[in-house]
Structures are given as C-alpha cells and as structure tokens.
Amino acid sequence: MSTLQQVGDRTSLSVLTGDQAIENLLTTEWLLTNGRGSYASSTIAGCNTRAYHGLLIGSLRPPANRVMAFSNCLEMIISDGKIFNLSTFEFADKFAPAGYGFLKKFRQDVGVHYDFELQSVGLTKSVYLLRDANRVAIEYDFTTVRKPVEFVSRPFVGLRDFHTLQKSYVTLCSRWVGSQGGGLIVRYETPDSCELLLRCPGASFVKDRQWWFNFVYRRDKERGQNFKEDLWTPGFFKCRIDSPARIVLWARLAESAEPIARTIEIEQPAPDSVDRVRRDLYRHQESLKRKARMVRHDLQFPIADCRLKNSDLEIASPRFFETLCLAAAAFVTERQTDDGSRTTILAGYPWFADWGRDAFIALPGLLLATGRFDEAKSVLTTFAAVADKGMIPNRFDDRSETAHFNSVDASLWFINAAFQYLQASGDSETFTKQLLPTIRWIVESYRRGTRFGISADTDGLITAGNDHTQLTWMDAKYDGVAFTPRFGKAVEINALWYNCLMQMKNLEPPPESRRAGTQSYESMADKVGAGFRDLFWNQDKGYLNDCILPDGSVDDSLRPNQIFAVSLEFSPLSAQQQKSVVDAVQDQLLTPYGLRTLNPLAEDYKGRYTGSPQDRDEAYHQGTVWPYLIGAFVESYLKVNEFSTESKRQSAEFILPLLQHLTEDACLGSISEIFDGDAPQLPKGCIAQAWSVAELIRAYQLVSS
C-alpha cells in the first residue's frame, strides 16, 4: 500500500516493496513529465510492462514526434566475485534478472527513487527528468559501503517512434566522442534519424555491442497488441565503489541535425549538476503549490472528518489538494509552432496528444482551479488561432501540427471553458478581443451549418453526422463498426448548445441596440430549451433520452451524457426533472470511481474492458466507467440538493475512492482514464488522464467550499 507523506514542506508518495509479490509491484506505475510532452515511466519494480515505458521518451517537436530513446538499464553489483543484479526484466517464461528481491522501498517526489539493500552496500537509484529538455539523469547514490564493490550499468537503447516496437534488423551504431569525460553517441541510421548521448562521469565505458531479444511487455499482451521487443546495448559503464559515493548516468535525445558532437565538451556535467536539477524541480513544484494555496485559502472544508479508508488522512488535508495540483501539472505542456510556443493540454499519458474536447473539459480543473490563468489563456488562444469553418480542432496529429476537426462537441466545450475563464480570471480584454469573435463564429456556423452535417434543425436543436461518423465523445469504432452510433441529435451536445446560447444571451446588447432582423440569442435559447424538453425528456422513464436519430427513432438508453443537462451553468430542465435525472444516474450508473457509460441492465452492456482491440473498443462506452464524469455528477448532485452541508458530506464520500486511487493504485499520483464497469472496477486505459484529474479537482473544490 502506498502512503502520502509530508517531509517538511515537501510531499511524497512511498511504497514498501520488500514484502510484496512481483505481480503486485508490476501493477503500480510511475510517471515523470517535463512540460514539453517528454516523459519517463515504468513500474515500481523497475520492470517495463509497456512499449510506452522507458527512462526517456523525448518529444522532438513538442508535444509531438515522441521517441522512446532510452528504455532501461541492466545494473549489477559485483562483490567477492559474485554478481548481484538489481534490475528486473521479463521474458517469455521468466524474470531475468530478478533484482526486485533486493528492492526495499519505492518513493516518488520530484523524481522517483528505488531503495536497494544488499549485504555489502545500500543503494538508492533515482530518476530525474529535466524540465523543458529531452534529458534524464539516473543517479546511483551509494549510501553505505561495507566493502569495496564494482558497479556496472548497461543501457538499453530504443530510438524508435513511441507507438512502435524495435526489432534487431534495424541499424544502430555508436561512437565515443570527446576527450576525458566525453560521451557515447548512439545513432539510428535512417534519413530522419535522431541521436542519444549517454555519459557517466566517474565511470569508464566498455564497448560490448549486443542485441537482447524478446523483452515481454505484459500490459500490451493483455491489450491484444504486439508485446515483444528487441533492444540494443552499445556496452556498459563500470566503476569501483570503495566508500559512499554518487554516480550519475546522463542521457539526452537530439535530432541528428543538432550539433551534439560539437557541444559535448561544454556540456560536461559538474559534480553537483544533479543537485541543481533537483533544486530546479523543487522550485518548479513549489511555484505550483503557491498558486494552489492562493486558491485553496478560500476552501472551508465542512466535511473535514471524511477520511481515506485504512488511513488517518482527512480529505481536508492540504496534501491532497497539493497532490492534485501536481497531478494536474503533468498535462500542461507546450505546443511548438512556426510562430513560437503556446500552452496546450495533453489528453493522457502515455499515448495521447492534445485533444480539443479533452482540453476544454479539463481546463477549468487543471488551470482555473489551480490559479494558472496565464496558461489557461494560452490554451484557449492556441486553439482559437487554428479554428476553421467555425470549428475548434478535435485533436492535433501525433507527428505534425495537422489539426483534425472530427468532433461536434469540442467547439461547444471551448465556449464553456472561455466563459469560465472570464468568470475566474476577470480578464475581459482577452475574452472580448481574442475569444469572443471565435465564439460568435462558432455559434453562427453551428446555426447555419458547417462540416460533418453540423447544423441547427427547425426546432433549433443541433444535429450532426451520419452512420459513417463518430462525432461525440463516445466515438469508439473498429473495422468500420461504430459501437455507439450517436449521430443526429445527442443529448449532451444540445445541453451544451443551450448553455452556450444562454451565456451569449447575457452578453448581447438590449433590443433597441441590435441590428434590424438579427435573431437574438435569447429567442434562440428559448426555442432550443422548449425543443430540448419536448424531444429528450422521457416521461415514462424519468430521465433523458440519449440520442434522436435523423429518422426520428429514439435511443432511450440510460447513459451518463444526460448529466451535463444538469451540471452546466444553464439547464433547460425544470428543477423536478433535474432531480429525476440525478436520481436515475445515481441509481444505475454511479460507481466508486465515476459513472458507467451504460446501464448494466442493458442488453449491450459490457462490464469488462479487456481482450483484443476490438473487444476493448466494444466495451469502451458500453459500460466502462469514466472517472471524469464524477465532476459533472457531483456538481449536479449538489445543485439539486441546494449545496447543503449534508449533500457536500455525501459528495465527499463519492470522491474518496478516487482520492485513494490517486495515492495508491495504478499510476501513483494520477488518475486512470477508465475503470471496468463491474466490480472491483479495475483501472484500465491510459495510466494518467487529464480530464480524470481535472474533474476530481473540481469535485474536490465543490465539496470543500
């Protein structure tokens, strides 16, 4: 079990590993990010279980073009002729080596730390990912040395697109560059190749080029994907340890066009370089905490006696809000363009880039709730700058700046986030000059019609798509089969549309100041509100229909999409209807980790997200639990209960399991993308998801104010 600890003013997560089975150690992961889309990630056993794991996955054009550059190291202690392996690798039928037996504790703060204990030495291995650079430092701190030993670290190189796997038929080569204290450059021999610079001051390098075959990645195997990889090693670094000492292995990824060889001498790390890295990381973390504390001073915590299970930590502990704010920071990154860099939000680690829908659902929690208004402005203006045909991009490409617009809701979530930015920051100048023109363009384009058949019908409601498109967030599709065909009029799209029109109504000039013949936002909202109630309210079932297809047929599946018709600032429903929706969702969809995507009594319900890609896509929105929906549910629950103290107490109970998950399960210090629909609701999908963290932050603030 992981514990959330406070040492001075610094927060850390720690796990006692020595008494745990390897199977348990392999289910808990860690993640370090650097603000440019690069990351490092593995398990608390140090054994990679995904192709996306590695000590350095660098972004060549932030946050895109990510390369798994530096996979892992084989580390060993040689004492009295005996070899003690500290590393753990998995192959087809065994763990070899199985160094986890010497691992006593894992800790995470600004870096991650593995504490090993052998008869002859005590050693802490630490991993630090440098801010704003494709660079990682692996520190070996020999805290106790009872007799002289030899230490060996053999690096394994990937240098591949992080979505792929490496095989031994590729051409990798290495050369030593520089004089004393120089470094090893490993190059992938292709026209668009990149280079990895490895250096370990204080150790000598022994050339011993080898391919190691068929590393097994068990998480990829479970997901029905390719799961075996070959990795290349150019040799190993070795040194003699006679007394307590620190050895640091540095790695940097660079494009081949970068003059890495010419800069190697001036980049020679000083003995205290890793100390400076650590201080810089702590300073960055402290700046985030200060912003968080400026927001948190207004929180009253009427539910301070709510505690985590098996813990003495109360929900009101400042450690929780700080941990949530640090989790939020992982997703805030830079998008490099020809005009410079702008802030954006990565949807999830390890494999997602920046998605418009995710960014604007996540922005209020990640940035506004944590006091990061400048970054919020940059995200909004980044997406507004590339709007096209009255639409905000759904996502950017993983390998380029290409924008994709296949979404009906990203533009509406953008509008909602822009208004929340205005309310939180008071920055009317940015809103009026840079955001409002785009908002007006979106509204007019949606009313008149834009790509993918998006337009307002005669009843004022938005209709979109056809049987070949998947434009809502429930967009899973495999081999041409859409598992949730929600084309036509979807409930959350029209809840967002109504909310948008009401927000615009409050900005529009009085009737006498409008141009003749101009349709007012108020009249549009009135029409949409009436149409919404007529079309979506299901009187017999006491909740909202999910979707109305173009032929008029009704999908009355009980899904969580209707909760947004209550949670958004403006609802087209009566108070009684809102209460009925919340009751239905709570009764059939609420789980300890969020809302199911489908009523478990439905014929198409899938309670397990597992198996092949097709099996998983089929379950993705057919019962799978999404934690991000807890934000809208808690807001709706509080709203229909008039934000009473008792409703806040109950809402605190709703979010306690996710706070426990934050500190103990899956990816330490973050929230998973999804969970199984059936108990025990195991975490699945991305190990860290932006809107999962963001909406937990919002829910946390709602119950604490």
* CB neighbour list of residue 458: distance below 8 Å, 6 or more residues apart: none
* CB neighbour list of residue 196: distance below 8 Å, 6 or more residues apart: 56, 69, 70, 157, 159, 185, 186, 187, 251, 252, 253, 254
Ordered strands of the 10-16 beta sheet: 2-7, 10-16, 103-108, 112-117, 121-129, 135-145, 245-255, 194-199, 183-188, 172-177
Give the global pTM: 0.94
Query: What is the rounded CA–CA span in Å between residue 416 and residue 83?
Result: 60
Predicted confidence band of residue 589 (pLDDT cuts 50, 70, 90): very high
pLDDT the model gives residue 17: 83
Give the position of tokens 């996306």.
52
pLDDT the model gives residue 473: 97
Query: What is the rounded CA–CA span in Å between residue 649 and residue 626?
Result: 22
Q: Does position 266 have pLDDT exceeding 50, yes or no?
A: no
pLDDT tens digits for 315-367?
777 778 888 999 999 999 998 877 778 899 999 999 999 999 999 999 999 99
pLDDT tens digits for 553-566?
999 999 999 999 99
Query: What is the rounded CA–CA span in Å between residue 143 and residue 410?
Result: 52
% residues pLDDT > 90 (the chain): 78
Instruction: For residue 326, give both structure tokens.
Output: 């640090």
pLDDT the model gives residue 265: 44
Query: What is the rounded CA–CA span in Å between residue 508 and residue 528?
Result: 17
Q: Does position 599 have pLDDT exceeding 90, yes or no?
A: yes
**Sequence-separated contacts (24+) of 601-608 with Cβ below 8 Å:** 602/557, 602/558, 605/677, 606/677, 607/676, 607/677, 607/678, 608/676, 608/677, 608/678
Predicted confidence band of residue 258 (pLDDT cuts 50, 70, 90): low
At 467 the three-state DSSP class reads coil
pLDDT the model gives residue 178: 67
For residue 229, the cross-strand partners are 215
Mean pLDDT over 181-206 rounds to 84
DSSP calls for 631-652: HHHHHHHHHHTTT-HHHHHHHH
Query: What is the rounded CA–CA span in Å between residue 2 and residue 20?
Result: 12
Query: What is the rounded CA–CA span in Å between residue 476 and residue 454?
Result: 20
**Sequence-separated contacts (24+) of 422-427 with Cβ below 8 Å:** 424/364, 424/368, 424/373, 424/376, 425/368, 425/373, 425/376, 425/377, 427/373, 427/377
Predicted confidence band of residue 291 (pLDDT cuts 50, 70, 90): confident
Query: What is the rounded CA–CA span in Å between residue 196 and residue 174?
Result: 9
pLDDT the model gives residue 517: 54
Mean pLDDT over 405-430 rounds to 97
For the chain, list the domains and their CATH numbers.
Answer: 7-259+271-283 (2.70.98.40)
Q: Does position 518 have pLDDT exceeding 90, yes or no?
A: no
C-alpha angle with apex 366: 28 to 349, nearest 5 degrees?
A: 35
Give the position of tokens 């630090």.
128
**Alpha-carbon radius of gyration of the chain:** 26
Predicted confidence band of residue 639 (pLDDT cuts 50, 70, 90): very high
